[in-house]
Structure formats: structure tokens, C-alpha cells
Structure 1
Amino acid sequence: MIRTPWRRREEPLDHAELRRLLPAPGDPELSSDRLRGLEEHLMTEIRNRTPDIAPDIAPDPLAGPPPAGAPAGDRASRPGRRSGRRPVLVGVAAALALAAAGVAALAGGPGGSGGSENPGRVAAPPAGAVPAPVVQVVRGSTAGLAGAVADISGAAARAELPEPGPGQFLYIRSEVSGLVSWEGSDGKNRSYVDKIHPREVWMSPDGAKGWLLEPHGKGTGRDGITLDDPEGGERTLNSPSHAYLKTLPTDPSLLLEKIYDETRGMGNGPDQQAFGTIGDLLREQVVPPKLAAGLYRAAARIPGVVLVDDSVDAAGRHGIAIARTDESDGSRTEWIFDRETFAYLGERTVQTRDAEGIRAGTVRGHTAVTGRAVVDALKQRPAGSAPGGDRAGAPAAPSAGT
């Protein structure tokens, strides 16, 4: 988010006299720490932390303490990097480009208003952005978490999911919307979000070939962009493929130990990074059933994870949520599940306290997974999907465990 270190106040001062007395303002620049923080904020992509509601600390509702690889007492936020999966990085790069444009506007460059009263401030919100919705923050609790996770993981383990064959591609379709912060000509920050729009991803099982189509998003163009990886980069938890996921352990303790170990030093603290990494694995993949069950059980063992009784995905579907608040900025990420089938529906990030110009209750972003399938060719859609990124009919809940 772009912020300035000052705000205009109503005072009975001679502004012309002040301009003669004070030195000319320099170009607003962000420090390296602030730039790193901005990148981290965008890459956690709507995670999206400590709410001003009562603290939500989960002891371990299922079994055993956190793994040996998890730091026990250090929950302090630490600067670091966080690698994201390639499909996610596209949206992040676009957001960074948008932020850079905002900096240029503040400096009086292209896009700035250049007016004498409010030099360099943008007079209108970004194209395609709408005011961010504000909701009542539902209190999370560890009560009922163990039972809900048992139901969710059980449904995941029983799920019958498509398995890609040679030459086939995994297809994931979602409805998505993300945060866009804007400072108006009056110097006040306002929270906007992209209009909810479709996003389609095709990936080969080994991750070597892929395509992203998000015509209403930023930076992908109408025809989409390639996700090919001709060099065959190493697969990790933060850059997985379907084939890589099949090699991971399914035991919750081993999974969590591996996650803490491989993400050490990344993100906003080890616990939040672990939760975010699991969320990334669930969002745009077809996760093997036993692994999905293990990931849910592993997530429930992360300190601070709670159950939220009601959340809503980008398609308007209500469900229960497994959630965690990031201590660094008060944003809470909620994984949403159908109340009856316990299928994974999508994700929502809600601001739990006023921070960084974002008011409590603001929905910073949300997604809804509306289809997972196996297709025979890149850019091919499964039967029943309309061309051009439009979906035929109302959204249906995905299979349990996805």
C-alpha cells in the first residue's frame, strides 16, 4: 500500500508564506525496508493477522505438540521473502506494477493529478476497481476445531479426484478478487478491490507446461500468458507440481515438520508462513486425497488456527472456515468449506483490526474454486464450461477434499 508521511490538516495558516519558508518537497521514495514489506504484503495475497478481538491461540486440537522443526517461543514477525507458485506470482507481479504506478503518481509522474493543492495525487480509483466490501468480523474459536477438521479431512480422504494421464493437463477454474489500495485527492486512503472475475489455470502434471487465463485481471492480457517451465526448475512446497505433491508424506506430523523446515526464515513468522504455504497448496492444485487430509490435520496443529462459524467465498457460498490471523497486520485468512459435504469452496481474507489505512471488517480478497478437472490439451475446457472465460450455469461446489 502506498502511504505518505503527512496528512493535510485544516489550520488558519498562510500557505503561500509557508511555501516560501519551507524547502521544496522531494520525490516520495519508499525505503528498501518498506519496499520489501510491500512485496511481502502483496505476495501473501490476501492473507493474507493479531486481531483486536480476543486472541485466538490453538493448543493442538488433534494430537501432539508442534514438530521439532518449529520454533517454540519466537512468534515475532520477521522480514523475509516468500516464494509463491508460478500461477500466483502473475497476480503478484501485476499488483506490484500497480503499486509502482501509484508511487509514480505520488511523485507527480504519469497518472498524477499535478494540481497545486494536491500535487501528484490520483483523482480516481484504478480502472475496474470497486469499493472493498466491509463485513462483521466473526469471532474465531478453538472450540469445535478438532471435530470440524476431522470431518473435513475425512471427506478429503474419501474424495474421488481426477488423475491425469500422459499428455493430459489439470484444469482449475476460480472466481477471484484482490485488494487495491488507493489514496484520493483528499489524502485519505480507501480500500478498493478488483471486480470478481474468472481465473483459469492449466498445468501439466510435472509442471513443465501451463497456461493462465485471467482476461479481467492485471498483466495477463485477453489471451492469457504461458506458465511453461522449459528448464524444469526444482519443485518445492512453494513451487509444486501434481507429481511433486504425490511424493510428500501424508502423516500430519511429518508434513508439518517438512513445512516448517523448508520455509524457515520466510514470511511473517514461522506459524503464519506454514499456514500460508498449506493454503497455497490447496488453492490451485488437484491434491491427492490422503495428502489433502494430512494437510488439514497439519494446519490444525499450527498455533493460532481457529474455527470460524461463517464465512463467504467469492461466489457467495457460505460455509465454515479454518482460519488464522497474521500478527503483523491483523488480516485473517479463512479457508471455507461446505457445511454438509465439507468440500473446499474457496478462501477469504478479512481485516480484523484497523491497520495501514484498512478498516476492520474490510474484505481484502476472496476466491471461489468452481471447477477442477483433467483435460486432454492446453487451453481445453471440460464439458459444460463456456468459452471466453465465462462459466455456464451457477457455481457448483467442488468435490470434497479439493
Structure 2
Amino acid sequence: MDDLRLLREVERDRPLRTLEELAAQRSLLLEATRADPAGVRAHPTRRTRPAGVWAGWLGTARRRLWAVFAAAVGTLAVVAAAMLLLVPGKGGGDQPARSGSATEAILVLQRAAAKQAGLPDVVPRPDQFVYTKTGGPGGFREAWWSVDGTRDGLIQGSTGVTTPVAGCRDGRAAAVKGDEFVPGKTEPCTPSPAYQPDLPTDPDAMMAYLYQHGGEPGDPNATGKAVLTLLQEQYVRPPAREALFEAAARIPGLRLIPNVTDGAGRTGVGVAWSEAGKNGLLIFDPKDYSLLDSGTGAGGDAVIRQAIVNEVGQRG
């Protein structure tokens, strides 16, 4: 097991360390390295002490030395693990060097993945709809997307304007002009399902899927955009979402952005794969690691609610 994997396993269920906690651990380490057990400096000789006394003293000194050594090593291990969260790592071989916050970003994604195991796993029927409510600087939007892409959906904005979404049946879809269908007119189409039942549930297979759908090995932005495509206004079941977050943790150059605001004004912790998250990031609730936003933060739209419903107009 490599050091990073070990750190993830140890830290999976623990909150991220604060600067104050790290400072306290450093102080403990310094104290332990400076410690000098009482009595060690007095070097008795065999001439002045009986053999039994000498043996007893030596045993006590050894125990004290081992206790100090164990404390120092234990503290050093804690500090070393904590320092991995703050000090830039050095990549080995063809592994890219990670920034100081990369390990924290990976831990957040690992915890977000673990959270999926406890969520209800709803399997939608083909005749249902994925209801999604998003909010951003421009107001909110509600959308009803056909699960299999063959049924007519709807998009409704906060101003009340509605836009029909034509389902694709037998390669043809009703033509849409403005906010209504054009009677008797159709156009060629390809179904765009809001749910993909065959999404991988294994991290390796999910990474391969991302590479097949826009991602590229060694290109964080392309792979990150493939992650966002799956999360934005599509329904991803918990097992597949767990694999998706595990795969996202492998994107090179990850960085943590603390105290970032999503499109709905909520504050969370962001995981970005580009500088300052300008081209995309995931924002999680820092308390339970639920996904708040998948986009570009305050300038974009955040998913406020998502549900599987039986017909257009229902909100779950």
C-alpha cells in the first residue's frame, strides 16, 4: 500500500486538519525531540552501585528512553501525515507533482464517494422524468428531462417563460419555435436520455468511460469537463456516482479551494482541476460532503434539487 493510499484510508472518516491542530502537533514533536529522561545523564559505575541496583536503573532508563522514542515517532507520523496536506508533494516517475492542497482535494472526493453508499438507490423507469431545479445569479430554472429521451419535456424559468423539449421517437422530433411546438413539423433527432443505466460502477471502468466521452489522459480540463457533463442535469445513481468521484480523484493537478460560493449562494469546499477553478469545479458541503454544485461556482447555476417524477410538472 502506497503512502497516499494509506493516508486516505486513515483519514477517510476524519475531518480535515486545521492550521491550529497542525501547529499543536508540531509543538508536540519538538517537545518530544528535546526531551531528556530524568536520571539518564547521571552515569553510575559498577564500582559505586551493586549489580542489582545497576540492573534496575538500566531497565528503568531503557523503558524511559523507549517511551520517549515511541512518543517522538508517533508524533512524527501524525505531523508527517498532516504535512502532506500542506506541503507540495514530489511526484515520482511519471506521476505528476501535486500541489499542497491536492491531498486535501483527494480526501474530499474520497469522502464524497463514501457518502454515496448510504443514499437511496432509485432506478428510474424509461417513461419517467428527471426533475432538476437549478439556481444562479440569473434566477432559478426548473427542467423535466425524459429518462429515455423519447418523451416531451419542459424547461421553466423563474420569469415563468416555458420552453418545450421535444422527445425523439423513431429518429424524428417535433420542431420547436420559441415557447411552443410547430404543429405538423418534425426534424431529425437522436435521443438524449437523462439517465444512463449502463454507467460504470468501478473507478477504473469509469475513468475509461470518461476518456471515451471527452476526457483525455494527462488533460485535467478535458477529463474534468467529462465529469461535469455527467453531473449536470442528468441522473446518476449512487453506485455510479461513487465511481465517478473516485475517478475524479485521479485527475492530475487537483487543488482545494476552501470557502467557495456556489451559484445558489451556499458556501462549501471546492475541488478544482484548473487554476482557481475557472473552467470547472465541484463544490461540496464541508459537513457531510454532499455535492452542492458542479460548474464554475458563483458565476454558474447550482443544482438545488433533483428527483425522479412520473410526469412533467411534478417536483417529487
User: Which bin holds the TM-score, normalised by the shorter protein?
Assistant: 0.5 to 0.7
Q: Find the partner of 1:163 among 110, 123, 126.
A: 123
Match of 2:162 in 1: 223
Q: Does 2:248 correspond to 1:299?
A: yes
* Separation in structure 1 between the aligned mates of residue 296 and residue 154 of structure 2, nearest angstrom: 23
Match of 2:237 in 1: 288
Structure 2: where are the runs of 5+ without partners? 1-87, 172-188
Decide whether aligned partners of structure 1 residues 57 and 252 sit closer, same or farther in structure 2, where only a CA change above 3 A counts: farther
Q: Find the partner of 2:143 among 193, 201, 212.
A: 201
Who wins on radius of gyration, i.e. which is larger?
Answer: 2
Q: Find the partner of 1:257 among 198, 208, 214.
A: 208
Match of 2:289 in 1: 342
Shift of 1:201: 1.6
Decide whether aligned partners of structure 1 residues 241 and 375 sit closer, same or farther in structure 2, where only a CA change above 3 A counts: closer
Q: Which amino acid aligns with 1:346?
A: D
Task: Give the conservation status (yes or no) of the 8 Å contact 1:199–1:212.
Answer: no
1:94-243 matches, within 5 Å, as 141-165=101-125, 167-176=127-136, 195-215=137-157, 222-231=161-170, 241-242=194-195
Task: Give the conservation status (yes or no) of the 8 Å contact 2:272–2:282.
Answer: yes
Task: Give the conservation status (yes or no) of the 8 Å contact 2:251–2:273.
Answer: no
Shift of 1:287: 0.8
Q: Does 2:267 correspond to 1:333?
A: no
TM-score (norm 1): 0.45
1:217-268 deviations in whole A, cap 9, x for unaligned?
8xxx812121422246667xxx5531x2x21222112211232134268xxx
1:190-236 deviations in whole A, cap 9, x for unaligned?
xxxxx43111121222122242424358xxx812121422246667x
Decide whether aligned partners of structure 1 residues 319 and 169 sit closer, same or farther in structure 2, where only a CA change above 3 A counts: same
Match of 2:220 in 1: 271
Decide whether aligned partners of structure 1 residues 170 and 262 sit closer, same or farther in structure 2, where only a CA change above 3 A counts: closer
* Separation in structure 2 between the aligned mates of residue 341 and residue 154 of structure 1, nearest angstrom: 10
Q: Which amino acid aligns with 1:306?
A: R
Decide whether aligned partners of structure 1 residues 215 and 163 sit closer, same or farther in structure 2, where only a CA change above 3 A counts: same
Decide whether aligned partners of structure 1 residues 166 and 214 sit closer, same or farther in structure 2, where only a CA change above 3 A counts: closer
Structure 1: where are the runs of 5+ without partners? 1-55, 67-71, 73-138, 177-194, 351-362, 383-402
Decide whether aligned partners of structure 1 residues 305 and 251 sit closer, same or farther in structure 2, where only a CA change above 3 A counts: same
* Separation in structure 2 between the aligned mates of residue 234 and residue 201 of structure 1, nearest angstrom: 19
Shift of 1:316: 1.4
Q: Which amino acid aligns with 1:298?
A: A
* Separation in structure 1 between the aligned mates of residue 275 and residue 210 of structure 2, nearest angstrom: 17
Task: Give the conservation status (yes or no) of the 8 Å contact 2:220–2:274.
Answer: no
Match of 2:258 in 1: 309
Q: Does 2:305 correspond to 1:378?
A: no
1:152-198 deviations in whole A, cap 9, x for unaligned?
0001232114432353222111113xxxxxxxxxxxxxxxxxx4311
Decide whether aligned partners of structure 1 residues 272 and 161 sit closer, same or farther in structure 2, where only a CA change above 3 A counts: same
Decide whether aligned partners of structure 1 residues 169 and 144 sit closer, same or farther in structure 2, where only a CA change above 3 A counts: same
1:96-131 deviations in whole A, cap 9, x for unaligned?
xxxxxxxxxxxxxxxxxxxxxxxxxxxxxxxxxxxx
Decide whether aligned partners of structure 1 residues 166 and 208 sit closer, same or farther in structure 2, where only a CA change above 3 A counts: closer
Task: Give the conservation status (yes or no) of the 8 Å contact 1:161–1:286.
Answer: no
Q: Which amino acid aligns with 2:253?
A: G
Q: Which amino acid aligns with 2:233?
A: E
Shift of 1:59: 6.2
Decide whether aligned partners of structure 1 residues 164 and 58 sit closer, same or farther in structure 2, where only a CA change above 3 A counts: farther
Shift of 1:141: 2.1
What secondary structure sits across from 1:285 in the alignment? Answer: coil
